[in-house]
Amino acid sequence: MSDTRGLPGQRHHNKSDPGILRTPPQNLEAEQAVLGTLMSSTGALARYFAETLETGIVAEEYYRPAHATIHRAICQVHQAGEPVDVLTITEELTRRGELATVGGASYLHTCVQAVPTTANGAHYAEIVRARAYRRTAIEAAQRILQYAYSEEGDESDVRALVEQELTAIVAGTPGLSAAPPSVDDIYLDYVAELEKIQNGRQAGIPYGVADLDAVTTGMHPGNVTVIAAQSGVGKSTFALNAAVAAAKSGATVMFSSLEMSEAELMHKIVADQGSIALHHLSRQGGLSAEQWAEVERLGRELFRTLPLRVHRPEGASLRDIESAARACARTGGLDVLVVDYLQLVEIEHHRNATREQAVAAVSRGLKNLSVQLACHVIALSQLNDDGMMRESRAIKNDASVVIKVERPDMDEPESPRAGEVDLVIDKNRFGPRATITAAAQMHYSRISDMNPT
């Protein structure tokens, strides 16, 4: 009989080493980048530290033992409420007598220098976790092989070991979701929500226009409202009014503006809440003593406690918006996220991707974010002259509610409907489609109920 052990495709197994003699899956560069991110995400970059740890990465998932040791020291310092940087980790490792075993303080600096960008810390952590999972699968398979090659136990023992190991592998899959709840599990929560609705209590967060709230039942976690209009009609004004109304109801809100500065947004909020003409706020010497007093009152009585954050991203990427939203969710919760507006948001996409595909990716990303953070997203969109949403019909598909803002007096100043605005509910998963007429007090940067009482 010929010996086939050296032929391609053949593998020789023995009882002492049933495993594959290869280097286990690992990525040392990604491990360094994770540790470097954790040791350099301070100050304004602190959110990247939290995002990296939120992936669930633990010391046991590093391939290099020194990296696991550094990770444990980082977690210990963080849990003690102390800042995490190279100096504090050096001190902690010295206290433990482990500094030399990890390569000294110089190696900690090497890890920091290995980070391409701290904003991608969570991605590096996912790479490390994925390699660790593969190693776990290999180790489990090796244990099964070794036991199967041995003379120990009987068929039922082998079957039990296989079941045990495979169950542990599946349970340890990164990102594995638990089985969804049964209707029996959610019934009591459903009844409680149903009672609120039937008793007339507001089911969702208010937009601030009574008729609109009645038709849509307000804003709900995990859903998206698209506010669409042509340029200059007032979609940003309406969205900002809704953000303030939601915040005044107690909801935590983040308004992410890619178009207006913080000062411009504050002008609009003060004009609305203080009933001060917008042009008085933006013109030198435009405020009277009484108006100045009103601005000061708003600071004391409204802004000091209003749970509204204004986000002016340095770039215009979806990643920037997502990071800021997650930071809000961690620090004080996030109920409503407003993005002004979709066509200005950038996303990494393939070179050959069309603009329509890019905007569709932004829309899908915001929808996913609303589900992940259990918040309601208001996304603004430009309309073409023909009334269609610019660039992508996918925007409408991802939305639960689509509101088109139309001004009857835009092209007809002497219109009998001057000062009115139509909120056309073009899509509504929570009720009927309808057209709500509201008052357009644009000099106060306000779209409100026709009858405020």
- DSSP symbols for 120-165: GHHHHHHHHHHHHHHHHHHHHHHHHHHHHHSS-S-HHHHHHHHHHH
Candidates 341, 82, 117; CA nearest to 225 is: 341
Mean pLDDT by 10 residues, the chain (453 residues): 35 44 88 94 82 90 95 91 91 93 94 92 92 88 84 77 74 59 82 77 82 90 91 90 93 90 89 88 82 90 90 78 84 90 71 72 87 91 68 77 88 80 91 90 88 61
The answer to whether the CB of 75 falls within 8 A of the CB of 83 is no
Question: Distance from CA of residue 153 to its chain's centroid?
Answer: 51
The answer to whether the CB of 420 falls within 8 A of the CB of 445 is no
The answer to whether the CB of 122 falls within 8 A of the CB of 39 is no
> At 340, which helix (H) or strand (E)?
strand 336-340
pLDDT given for residue 10 in this prediction:
35
- The model's pTM: 0.63
The amino acid occupying position 277 is A
pLDDT given for residue 388 in this prediction:
64
DSSP 43: G
Cis upstream peptide for 341 (omega within 30°):
yes
d(CA 338, CA 378): 5
**Domain 13-175 belongs in CATH node 3.90.180.10:** no
- CATH for 198-448 (2.60.40.420, 3.40.50.300, 3.40.50.620, 3.30.70.240): 3.40.50.300
CB-based contacts of 271: which residues, under 8 Å, 6+ apart?
A: 277, 278, 281, 443, 444, 445, 446
Tokens of 332: 């004080």
Tokens of 133: 């999972």
| Domain residue extents for the chain | 13-175, 198-448
d(CA 400, CA 409): 29
d(CA 395, CA 359): 8
| Long-range pairs of 61-66 with CB within 8 A, sequence gap ≥ 24 | 61/128, 61/129, 61/132, 62/31, 62/128, 62/132, 63/24, 63/26, 63/27, 63/28, 63/31, 63/131, 63/132, 63/135, 64/26, 64/28, 64/31, 66/101, 66/102, 66/103, 66/107
Collapsed DSSP state (helix, strand, coil) of residue 239: helix
pLDDT given for residue 357 in this prediction:
78
The region that residue 103 occupies, defined by phi over 0 for left and psi between -120 and 50 for alpha, beta otherwise, is: left
Tokens of 189: 């929560």
d(CA 446, CA 36): 48
- Strands 376-382 and 224-229, sheet pairing: parallel
Q: What is the dihedral of CA 305, 256, 404, 371, to 10 degrees?
A: -90
Scan for tokens 């939203």, then name that residue: 325
> At 65, which helix (H) or strand (E)?
helix 65-79
What are phi and psi for residue 122, nearest 5 degrees? -65, -35
pLDDT given for residue 2 in this prediction:
37
Q: What is the dihedral of CA 217, 219, 222, 227, to 10 degrees?
A: 110
Scan for tokens 């102390």, then name that residue: 82
Collapsed DSSP state (helix, strand, coil) of residue 430: coil
68 to each of 80, 91, 174, 194, 211, how far by Cα in Å? 19, 17, 18, 50, 58
d(CA 133, CA 110): 26
